[in-house]
Structure 1
């Protein structure tokens, strides 16, 4: 019987050293990030400033967390178009309960997380029980969540938040750069996701499910249950992103999240995760989120209008997916 190459420890000194190096799949996104930073630094003197890096990190922490949930879904060969709206509805529930209903802010946060998680569970249930395509299901829940968010908030921004909801927006200094506690939480979440996907049986099952769902089922793995867990966890992650969004902006914004589905998918595919499932690296997603943040920030410094930023983001997605498709054909 052949050893499990995914879990077998490296036996040679060279193997042990290579195990601690970044995965090869992350080298492309890392190079792209370096090139993007070099380009925008040449276009604006402000790009390399500590205050600008602080701004990039604050922008990235929200889409970066959303992209964690999106990565889990895409690794199973699915897609989640509802992510931005699940983030938004969670943020509105927690802020409205804390401000208008004067609920204990920690309980309000819990309620917001539960609502986002419940929508994630609904996505998973419709996909696994009713056998609907992920694209259709999440497109439907995107619109449902958006409508409920507008009705519940009466399309009004919620301000004057209690301190507990703004905690992750607070900063500490690293050199000349102010880093938010939300950024630290994002990095911790990436480390947890990296460990689970790399070193646990459920993580390997996620990859197996994306590679070949039928073969995975024949191995005795409950694929429907695994998909349900993935979409439910993704909903929880989007709720956490909603909390970080509230902490960063200081308000509950019912119009939030409308571009985060595109931004999160862009981060995932730029990070090297295949839209066809079964192949990818969560650390690559973090690099992809940084690339998205750097592009948005750099284009803003160059005076490029937001509509053209969305255009460029769409082009980046197409280029990344085309590259993935070509590599699959060669493979």
Structure 2
């Protein structure tokens, strides 16, 4: 009969009103606070180094500078949450931008249709990546390394390695600004923030979002529950392609040209933003808003170092150190968990 009696410890837990979660459990996890702390420390440091850093206009400039990488990083986050990686994102974005601008200028296509064609090219590369990963069972690293080079070659051949200029206004509209509280905010920045809000909700509150996390956590267990892991992965790579297409449009709008040499560092910048934002490279763990913070950290560091007159070579060096530290922290926390 003793097995039917509650233990004294369980009696202590069930008697009276529930005390609720402890303060320790109500507080955010340190891993989720890491990007916030890093961003605050960076802002504090650079505020002492330059009087211009804390100006509202400078923060608006930082947001404008990170809007392209930040948008790419949304798609990269989805891929990394499934324990994959996409090295082709930057060059796919560049190809999408060249397709948009060439069709709208040289081919005389309606600008909106040209934008749609450029985005379809990006989605097609996402589909190709997804099929090679799910059907041929190739590692995502190898697949996207190959498609990165393919996208680069097509971009150079299609553009003749020439910058496309004299763009119609629909392709440059997102480069305009709107006044908010006396501060000029780029339309592209508003779009990027809106995309983050949308995808944060999708990942947190929808079934497809939960499936993305489940595949990253344990694909075999997810498959045994009846979820098609291949369909989830294919969808992730295609949706990532959509964001690369949007980033292509933002890049064109920001520079007012179609640049065949764009996208050569955006892949690493996007991965850096995702990792700095706390998303695990092993999949299944991370927050999209953390990616936004990661992109801002990269932007703040480069902006602050520029204001300090530090050479761009050292900016790349510091970014590399940051991403190594972030990955090392992720590995240590995973082992501890």
Quick check: TM above 0.5? Answer: yes
Answer yes or no: is 1:173 the counterpart of 2:187.
Answer: no
Residue of structure 1 in register with 2:76 after alignment: 70
| 4+ residue segments displaced more than 4 Å | 12-15, 20-25
Q: Shift in Å at residue 168 of structure 1?
A: 0.8
Q: How many Å separate the matches in 1 of 2:254 and 2:20?
A: 44
Taking the aligned partners of 1:13 and 1:99, their CA distance within structure 2 comes to 67
CA distance in 2, matches of 1:42, 1:50: 16
Residue 257 of structure 1 is matched in structure 2 by: 263
1:114 aligns with 2:120: yes
Q: Which runs of 5+ in 1 are unaligned?
A: 1-11
Return the alpha-carbon distance in structure 1 between the equivalents of residues 43 and 182 of structure 2: 18
Mean CA deviation greater in 303-312 or 188-197? 303-312
Shift of 1:101: 1.1
Cα deviation digits, residues 173-227 of structure 1 (max 9, x gap): 2235321111111111111111111011111110010011111111111001110
SS at match of 1:173: strand
1:90 to 69, 87, 96: 96
* Number of aligned positions between the proteins: 318
- Report the secondary structure of 2:240's partner residue: helix
Worse overlay, 21-30 or 312-321: 21-30
Q: Which residue is 2:232 aligned to?
A: 226
For residues 196-211 of structure 1, what are the structure 2 equivalents within 5 Å?
196-211=202-217
Q: Mind listing any 5+ residue stretches in structure 2 that lack a counterpart?
A: 1-17
1:308 aligns with 2:308: no
CA distance in structure 1 between the aligned counterparts of 2:177 and 2:215, rounded to whole angstroms = 40
Q: Is the 8 A contact 1:75 1:207 kept in 2?
A: yes
Alignment of 1:1-331 (within 5 A): 25-331=31-337
Deviation at 1:62, TM superposition (A): 0.7
Q: 1:176 to 1:296 in 2, by over 3 A?
A: farther
What's the offset of the Cα at 1:305? 1.8
For residue 53 of structure 2, give the secondary structure of its aligned residue in structure 1.
Answer: coil
**TM-score normalised by length of structure 2:** 0.91
Residues in 2 aligned to 1:121 and 1:262: alpha-carbon distance in whole angstroms:
21
Structure 1 vs Structure 2 CA RMSD: 1.9
Aligned partners of 2:285, 2:87: CA distance in 1, in Å?
20
Inter-partner Cα distance in structure 2 for 1:21 and 1:186? 29
- Residue 6 of structure 1 is matched in structure 2 by none
